[in-house]
Amino acid sequence: MEYGEEDIRQVVLAQRDFFRTGQTLDVKWRIAQLKRLRCAVLSYEQEFEQALAADLSRSAVEAYLCDILPTVTEIDETIRGLRRWARPECHYSGLMCFPSLVTKVYKMPYGVTLIISPFNFPILLTLGVLTASLAGGNTAVIKASSKSAACTAVLKRFIAEVFPPEYVTLIDGGHDVADMCLAQQFDKIFYTGSPAVGKHVMTEAAKNLTPVALELGGETGNWCVVRKDADLKDAARKVAFFKLCNAGQICININQVAVAEEVVEPFLAELKAAYTKQIGDMAEQNGDYPKLITLSAYDKCASLAEEYRDHIVYGGHGDRDSCRYAPTILYPVSINDPIVQKELFCPLLPVVPFKDSEIDSLMATIAEREHPLALYLFTKNKRWARRVMQSQQYGGGCINEVCVHLMVKGVPFNGTGHSGMGAYHGEWGFREFTHPSTVLMGSSRFNLSLREHPYSGKAGEKKLKMLKLFTK
């Protein structure tokens, strides 16, 4: 179906009418919908795997590990916690509010939400966000990516089978359709993608003063820092795994790695060995290795590699027909080179040498740039690492590990600045898709005249004296 602006407007109106019936306010009903979603995800497992293979050449293992399993665990966590999260908070009103004793904070849904999902993890980053929206008691319009066409087609059929359109609707199409969606008045918008498009989403949302959550990749990319005391074999193994995953098309992936020059040569040797062991020397011929999403993405990657051809120490080749470009190490690269000042979103890995004694200068330069979505440190100096993690500005990260902070239950996933705003996963997602409403329970008895006129004369003096007692 080709959508026009009026079609989308009618979808939004139908969802608003359904929301106003109050059915989504019932927490028990929400849990029932989440259970339906979970069962449907498992029943569609094979179709999702096939679609991920068609769009990104993902193997069944990688599809399950990166999209299907995290989606199911996200739904499970939400089902288990929702009753507790949605329970109204009860607060003592305080002497200033006498004779009121009780104030409630209700966790209210926003209403009709818009979810704009990306191509790189099309199942997880659509259904994971949907889980948070439905948990909050909202309805949802999903604008799925046109780049991951096979996944969008399966998701569209999936959503239509599981939910009525007045509750959840998936809309496909390109940027023009996304703009038609943004032209409508939603109550909450959640966008996952690039900082450039994030700015556009915010601009359009501002026209209706719609609150926005943004999960972005970070304009100058995510840093990994390997100090001279790091376990080089362990660091290289983990870096190689992560750059191979989805061919580097991950918002929290390592954009560039800074390595202490005292250990840079043995680190490079370990990294090359790790790549070879995990995927072989001709990754583009390995059926388990994912592809870049489009020919345009492949050409962009290949062109950038050619610009740095003299710096390639591993890889530097690919197969345009299959859109697979081999993992490629670029060394040495200056911290001020253009390639380390933009998000790559591909299997190129610039290696930036630094003197370990000048680590503070390196971290200061990283801090001066746009805030990344992730930061990774490899070192035996845990004290230093903890100090850095508590002083830098970034979304999330790991010490002596990569990416798995994303899998921890009960913690937020979020960015800051150019890497985003808002947070989700588990209770944090529920909070993102609800707004707290404070309601004081008043009384018709024992009301004092302290707050009422007159404020002058002897009565005013007495009232002022009593009011000042509250500041002591």
- Residues that are catalytic: 215, 251
CB 258 within 8 A of CB 335: yes
Of 372, 400, 375, nearest to 388 by C-alpha is: 375
**Cα angle for residues 54, 60, 66 (degrees, 5° grid):** 95
The alpha carbon of residue 159 and the mean position of all alpha carbons in its chain are separated, in whole angstroms, by 21
The alpha carbon of residue 198 and the mean position of all alpha carbons in its chain are separated, in whole angstroms, by 12
Bond preceding residue 99 cis, omega within 30 of 0? yes
Instruction: Give the chain's end-to-end CA distance (angstroms, integer).
Output: 67
Q: Is 351 helix (H, G, I), strand (E, B) or coil?
A: strand
Query: 328-350 b/e with 16+ CB inside 10 Å = b?
Result: bbbbebebebebbeebbbbbbbb
Of 308, 18, 333, 362, nearest to 163 by C-alpha is: 18
Q: Which residues contact 429 (CB under 8 A, 6 or more apart)?
A: 74, 78, 128, 129, 131, 132, 135, 136, 423
Of 322, 246, 251, nearest to 282 by C-alpha is: 322
Of 24, 143, 127, nearest to 76 by C-alpha is: 127
Q: Is the dihedral of CA 242, 244, 245, 250 positive or negative?
A: positive
Of 128, 116, 292, 254, nearest to 192 by C-alpha is: 116
Q: In this structure, which amino acid lies at residue 170? A: L
**Cα angle for residues 130, 64, 84 (degrees, 5° grid):** 40
Phi first, then psi: give them for residue 199, nearest 5 degrees. -60, -40
In angstroms, the CA 57 to CA 69 distance is 18
Q: In this structure, which amino acid lies at residue 143? A: K
Tokens of 425: 């996963």
Q: Is 86 helix (H, G, I), strand (E, B) or coil?
A: helix
Q: Is 332 helix (H, G, I), strand (E, B) or coil?
A: coil
In angstroms, the CA 118 to CA 124 distance is 10
Tokens of 388: 């850095």
